[in-house]
Amino acid sequence: MSDINVTPMVDVMLVLLIVFMVAAPLMTVGVPIDLPQTQAKQLNTEQKPITISVTNAGAIFLGDEPVTIDDLTTKVAAVAVNGTEDRIYVRGDLAANYGSVMQVMGALSGAGYSRIGLITEQAQQQVQ
């Protein structure tokens, strides 16, 4: 009898599925923010971008490390690999003050960073 037993392969695949399902939420930036939703498509990037988060209370985080607006550009310059050519993503909470997000973007732009993007969540399509 020359049948292939696929049961062990299915068991391994189910274990890998569970591991990735548990690990996937842990791979995001650790600052809890309620992002606005949009219809835009997700961008593909080769390297890990610099992520700055602005909470609804106005607190600023570089990655998951809190920073002040005065120290933001020096901390970003220390992290940036390609200098001012690095892409920087700003995550603003849905309830964050618009002025706080613009203050962060203005400080980055004033320091010479021109590749600044805003991160949103993709809107869920309603089936009717």
For the stretch 35-91, pLDDT in tens is 666 666 665 555 677 888 888 888 889 888 889 888 888 888 888 877 777 888 888
**Residue 78 domain boundaries:** 37-122
Q: How far apart are CA 114 and CA 117, in angstroms?
A: 9
On whether residue 96 sits in a domain, the answer given is yes
- Within 10 Å of residue 128's Cβ, how many Cβ atoms? 3
pLDDT-derived band at 108, boundaries 50, 70, 90: confident
Q: What pLDDT, on a 0 to 100 scale, did the predictor assign at position 125? A: 62
On whether residue 57 sits in a domain, the answer given is yes
Q: What pLDDT, on a 0 to 100 scale, did the predictor assign at position 33? A: 63
User: How does DSSP assign 44-90, residue by residue?
Assistant: P-SSPPEEEEE-TT--EEETTEEE-TTTHHHHHHHH-SSGGGS-EEE
On whether residue 116 sits in a domain, the answer given is yes
On whether residue 10 sits in a domain, the answer given is no
3-state secondary structure at position 121:
strand
Q: What pLDDT, on a 0 to 100 scale, did the predictor assign at position 118? A: 82
pTM for this predicted structure:
0.59
Number of domains into which the chain is organized: 1
Q: What percent of the chain has pLDDT over 90?
A: 7
pLDDT at residue 28 above 90? no
On whether residue 4 sits in a domain, the answer given is no
On whether residue 27 sits in a domain, the answer given is no
On whether residue 24 sits in a domain, the answer given is no
pLDDT at residue 14 above 90? yes
On whether residue 101 sits in a domain, the answer given is yes
Q: What pLDDT, on a 0 to 100 scale, did the predictor assign at position 41? A: 64
**CATH classification of the domain holding 71:** 3.30.420.270
